[in-house]
Amino acid sequence: MSATILYINTPSYLGGAEISLLSLMRNLDPMRYHPVLVTTGEGQLTDASRAHGIETVIQQFPPFRKRFPWRYPLSVLRLANTAHRHRAALVHANCPNAARHTVAASHLAPRPYIAHVRDARDAWSRPSSIRFLRTSHCVIVNSHAVGHHLAELGVSHSLTRVVYNPVEVIDYADPDRAVARRRIREELGIQEAVLLVGIVGQVQEIKGHTDLVQAAPSILARLPSTHFLVAGAAFDDAARHYEQQVRSLICELDLDDHFHLIGFRSDVGDVMQALDVLVVPSWQEAFGRVVVEGMAAGCPVVGANVGGIPEIIEDGTNGLLVQPHDPNGIADAVVRLAKTDHLRQRMVDCGYATAAKFSVSAHVDQVEAIYDSLLFQRGAHANPDLP
């Protein structure tokens, strides 16, 4: 009999953490583990989850408020009842927003619980989140950089396990790369011979879009026909304000004829195929999923030397590293790749080999091994009602 894992992820959109979670839930060994997702509302995540046959529960996670003091305990009770009703063997929190609820419900149920930290900044760094991590049975981190950051905040290294995010390599390694490349370029009105440099991912300040815009004049001075692509959407008010700043900077630098902002795309693999250089100029990056996606698509990558990115890119071998906040460094790296065929080809070849190391199967195997170590030790795999 398979053991049910209750996954908690409050955002209902599809960001990097949610894409990774879906890959995990979809590929669990059905003879051993059965996923149930808890999230806060209908959206991209619930649509994708149900499309893959994953049972999904909707509930809110309100904080404790004196004005409505009953809302918090009722939400805890509902989560505990969900765990009990599904005979969940373990609770897996994929975000920090419901940390307090997870602790309380897991004690009521009772069930062991683990945390999956894919980004150690902001919410995961709050004192309340750190307390949650320190009481978890295990903390999965998606890079050594995240593990070191948590250790500095008081989370013991003995609790953390590094499991890199999974990448569906097959989604990006199109065997007929020329067809995808031609389709996207025709859509944008860009000829095959034109150098196309792109940034792919959510539009938010820490992703460093403005650094690429500021690098563009220096690139164009040496490679005048270059075009630039920005693929990704802004998901909240702060991000939308930043996107407007990016657009204003493009206009201010008189780059409108060279930039293409194409918003959210479901065909990211094809977009990657169309690029000649992928730039990842992030100021913070827990892992760097888009780096692996670019490598899988056969696209040379220029990445910022921050967070988990240098755990993926070996400078000069499978990509180029530049310092964050360095538009001149980005420009020099792009021009170097554009003008050096053998360097670009070597990075493509080595990039394919690197991407294969981040396979979904490897990720799932490692997470299942963590489940095994927790549940078999406690006897919970055989009987999920054991405390």
State which residues form the domain around 286.
169-356
Residues 211 and 162 in one domain: no
Q: How many CB atoms lie within 10 A of CB 186?
A: 12
Residues 162 and 182 in one domain: no
Minimum mean pLDDT among 114-123, 206-215, 234-243, 358-367: which range? 114-123
- Please write the tens of the pLDDT for every residue from 249-308: 999 999 999 999 999 998 888 999 999 999 999 999 999 999 999 999 999 999 999 999
Percent share of the chain, pLDDT over 70: 96
Residues 156 and 18 in one domain: yes
Q: Which residues pair with 259 in a beta bridge?
A: 228
Residues 271 and 126 in one domain: no
- Name the pLDDT band for 15 (thresholds 50, 70, 90): confident
Question: Whole-prediction pTM value?
Answer: 0.85
Please classify residue 191 by burial: count the beta carbons closer than 10 Å to its beta carbon, then call 0-12 exposed, 13-18 middle and 19+ buried: exposed
Minimum mean pLDDT among 45-49, 57-61, 134-138, 179-183: which range? 179-183
Q: Is the pLDDT of residue 387 over 50?
A: no
Question: Does 70 fall in a domain?
Answer: yes
What CATH number is attached to the domain comprising 190? 3.40.50.2000
Residues 104 and 218 in one domain: no
- How far is the CA of 125 from the CAs of 115, 194, 287, 304, in angstroms? 13, 44, 16, 22
Question: Does 212 fall in a domain?
Answer: yes
Residues 24 and 73 in one domain: yes
Question: Does 364 fall in a domain?
Answer: yes
Minimum mean pLDDT among 209-213, 278-282, 334-338, 373-377: which range? 373-377
Query: What was the pLDDT predicted at 172?
Result: 72
Question: Does 383 fall in a domain?
Answer: no
Length of the chain as a residue count = 387
